[in-house]
Amino acid sequence: MTEHRALENIVVLDMTRVVAGPFCGAMLGDLGATVIKIEVPGRGDDARAYGPYINEESLYYSNLNRNKHGVTLNLKSEKGKELFLRLVKKADIVIENFRPGVMERLGLGYDELKKVNPQIIYGEISGFGSYGPYRDRPGYDIIAQAMGGLMSVTGQAGNPPTRVGSAIGDILGGLNLSIGVLAAINERNITGEGQKVDISLVDCVVASLEQAVQRYIVSEEVPKRIGNSYQSIAPYDTYQAADGYVVIGCGNQKMYEKLCNEILKKPELTEDERFLTIPLRVKNQAQMKEYIEAWTSKQSVNEIVETLLGKGIPSSPIFDLKDIINDEHISRAREMIVHSHHPVMGDIILNGNPVKMTASKTDIRKASPTLGEDNSEVYGGFLGLSDKEIKELYRDGVI
Amino acid sequence: MTEHRALENIVVLDMTRVVAGPFCGAMLGDLGATVIKIEVPGRGDDARAYGPYINEESLYYSNLNRNKHGVTLNLKSEKGKELFLRLVKKADIVIENFRPGVMERLGLGYDELKKVNPQIIYGEISGFGSYGPYRDRPGYDIIAQAMGGLMSVTGQAGNPPTRVGSAIGDILGGLNLSIGVLAAINERNITGEGQKVDISLVDCVVASLEQAVQRYIVSEEVPKRIGNSYQSIAPYDTYQAADGYVVIGCGNQKMYEKLCNEILKKPELTEDERFLTIPLRVKNQAQMKEYIEAWTSKQSVNEIVETLLGKGIPSSPIFDLKDIINDEHISRAREMIVHSHHPVMGDIILNGNPVKMTASKTDIRKASPTLGEDNSEVYGGFLGLSDKEIKELYRDGVI
């Protein structure tokens, strides 16, 4: 079977910056799309200024812009707009994460683009979305985590609201935008027309809150920070082991009974009226935890995990980055840590793509571009401009 | 224009339980797919036992299973398998989150399904994926957050590793599975063949770590918990206001200079060698924070946000669930809190879908099914069984 990828037929113009939009472009690229990243001449994506660095190139940028062809383009110049519209004619998807209204003010909003290409799918991502009272507010991941409610429910009890330690609002935004544009591709196959997909980081975070929304309405109590426990399942928490913390989760009655009978050797707990059902165990989880820690605190994390997995009870250690990068399963078997090579940085490692497909490859084929690296290939090869024309574009500051 | 939805042509068999898989099914349903949720007769999805409850129905389950037709089916019976294969013939996508190998042992693995329908797309989601040394380990969200490294970087400095306060590993899994099956739909339009998409919750969490992976390799220091600050941008944190915490984020030099000149009225900071570049501001962010809090600590959160937004500097309050549900923008304009009606629970609220599309609706059209609620419609209407045959299926415990 020849090697192929799921989105080989798709051309994406990626005008995004920082994390959320670039993550979407990288996802589509990993899945095989031809992604052309468009940056401001001389400056580029803000994320080129974010560490960590190697040889003065941003590895931060590199992870989010692998599998992209990089061009520069000044969209404020008439010639730049014209070139952009020529690219739009040959593309399937445009993604951008300017503040709402920026593309319209450039004369390059979706309504203009669909005039030159009615099939174009336009994906935009912003802090608050393209409509609604807050549409003009600037948005970053930390703002989405804050206003989307995630910080209010993350953290140890009594602690301040806590930011998730990665740009999870941006990641959620990039994933939801990927879903939106792929759904629009499906619909385009039926209607023959593109459309606009409008993603707000805050919306994405709110959607990720799952049961916290329902809990507030039912209980009329605002969900608070409760450490590592969960308001819908117990036992389901971290527990003190002799050498650290261990995770144990019993999501159904069978697992819970096995834990009591075969591990804690306390069959009476399965008939204890404080713990009869999942909601009762959630309510009385502090007492439940005492029984469990009486057992876990005397053993190492590894011993506990091995014992519990042997009985089919979900359990795990807590990994840090070193553990992950050296892990046989995560890093190697699942290829979630990918060794790559960058022309300026040399050997680097990137995060793997979690979408594994049996017939299509999801892989990293190209390092992130240096600023304007692929100008000749894209403007020459893809758009068919002559060397002379490309030289003039450089001279005039268009690219 | 007639009302339409992006995935109207797609039929999904959703055999998933708990959160990750159901979230994917709900996403595809919100986007217009016909989703048939298949549950074990008499028991159903484990999440039916998770609170919050209204009238003994789980609102937890309801949020994750809106827009689905619910049927029961005993896949261990021969008749059940036969019915399942008849459904597969008429479906585009099957999703499941059993432990790897369960469907194969039932004789219903992807290799069997593609014999009856070579176009079928098979999406599976599990804690660790369908291959690799940990494939047989049970996985829950908390395990994915723990082994995927997210807990190791979330929390206040000096605190234990901290679980994100929603099932974010599951949500990431559901989103990535949605992307995978939609990418496979695109490829199927070209090749005419389906394939299997294999999602691991742990993989999804690792992919969401973004720069933490690169940071470890460059610095050889394991990224630790650093509260609400970020290792790649500063100022970008929560700051003490007179009445709580406020978020401020300056992602580029221009915003930073505006903060110093126009807000803090300390133009000297823009030339202070400790703060000249983003990496320097990250390194010296404790000192930077003192300057900022000297200003923020004297005002209310609302005053600070208003002042900063007036100057174009990203800032926000930290919302809890009550704030979100009552917010004009999030709850109403963006429809992220959706009022719905359930036949048993009555009026309920569900999380909205963040994928907003201009030509297609993404909406909640149907409440979650009670167990087996749509047996007649699906087995009768969709598969064409007679009332007599359906009665026999009930009698024999097949449905």
Angstrom distances, CA of residue B148 to CA of A266, A320, A363? 32, 8, 20
Q: Establish whether A14 is a catalytic residue.
A: no
Residues 6+ apart with CB under 8 A from A301: A241, A243, A244, A245, A246, A317
In this predicted structure, the answer to whether residue A2 has a pLDDT above a threshold of 70 is: no
Does residue A79 sit within a domain?
yes
Choose the mutation target among B7, B31, B228 for the interface with A, i.e. most A CBs under 10 Å.
B228
Q: How many domains, chain A?
A: 2
Choose the mutation target among A17, A31, A203, A362 for the interface with B, i.e. most B CBs under 10 Å.
A203
Same domain? A84 vs A183: yes
Cβ-based contacts under 8 A for chains A and B: 555
Same domain? B305 vs B288: yes
Of B182, B225, B322, the CB nearest to A222: B322
Choose the mutation target among B1, B19, B166 for the interface with A, i.e. most A CBs under 10 Å.
B166
Q: What is the per-residue pLDDT across B143-188, written as a single tens digit (0 to 9) for each?
A: 999 999 999 999 999 999 999 999 999 999 999 999 999 999 999 9
- Cis amide prior to A354 (ω within 30 degrees): no
Same domain? A174 vs A309: no
In this predicted structure, the answer to whether residue A396 has a pLDDT above a threshold of 90 is: yes
Residues 6+ apart with CB under 8 A from B223: A165, A320, A321, B152, B153, B212, B215, B216, B231
Count of CB atoms situated within 10 Å of the CB of B226: 17
Q: What is the mean pLDDT of chain B?
A: 96
Shortest Cα distance, chain B CAs vs residue A76, angstroms: 19
Q: Which of B321, B344, B363 is the last residue of a domain?
A: B321
Interface pTM, i.e. ipTM: 0.98
Question: Is the Cβ pair B143, A223 closer than 8 Å?
Answer: no
Q: Which of B305, B321, B337 is the last residue of a domain?
A: B321
Q: What is the per-residue pLDDT across B333-390, written as a single tens digit (0 to 9) for each?
A: 999 999 999 999 999 999 999 999 999 999 999 999 999 999 999 999 999 999 999 9
Q: What is the mean pLDDT of chain A?
A: 96
Phi/psi at B79 (5° precision): -65, -35
Same domain? A20 vs A42: yes
- Residue B202, classed as helix, strand or coil, is helix
- Residue A175, classed as helix, strand or coil, is helix
* Percent of residues, chain A, with pLDDT higher than 90: 97
pLDDT at B3: 79
Q: Kindly indicate the confidence band of residue A86, based on its pLDDT and cuts at 50, 70 and 90.
A: very high
Question: Is the Cβ pair A151, B180 closer than 8 Å?
Answer: no
Shortest Cα distance, chain B CAs vs residue A309, angstroms: 7
- CATH classification of the domain holding A249: 3.30.1540.10
Does residue B305 sit within a domain?
yes
Q: What is the per-residue pLDDT across B94-126, written as a single tens digit (0 to 9) for each?
A: 999 999 999 999 999 999 999 999 999 999 999
Same domain? B297 vs B338: no
pLDDT at B8: 97
Q: Which residue of B has its CA nearest to A316?
A: B143
Q: Which of A321, A340, A375 is the last residue of a domain?
A: A321
Same domain? B174 vs B313: no
In this predicted structure, the answer to whether residue A1 has a pLDDT above a threshold of 80 is: no
Does residue A308 sit within a domain?
yes
Of the candidates A14, A45, A92, A170, the residue annotated as catalytic is A170
**Could you list the residue range(s) of the whole structural domain that residue A194 is in?**
11-208+329-395
- Residue B340, classed as helix, strand or coil, is strand
Of B163, B213, B320, the CB nearest to A349: B213
In this predicted structure, the answer to whether residue A37 has a pLDDT above a threshold of 70 is: yes
Same domain? A159 vs A304: no
Q: In chain B, which residues have their Cβ closer than 8 Å to the Cβ of A309?
A: 137-138
Q: What is the pTM of this model?
A: 0.98
In this predicted structure, the answer to whether residue A220 has a pLDDT above a threshold of 60 is: yes
pLDDT at A382: 96
- One-letter amino acid at B5 equals R
Does residue A41 sit within a domain?
yes
Question: Is the Cβ pair A207, B131 closer than 8 Å?
Answer: no
Question: Is the Cβ pair B321, A191 closer than 8 Å?
Answer: no
pLDDT at B2: 65
Same domain? A356 vs A290: no
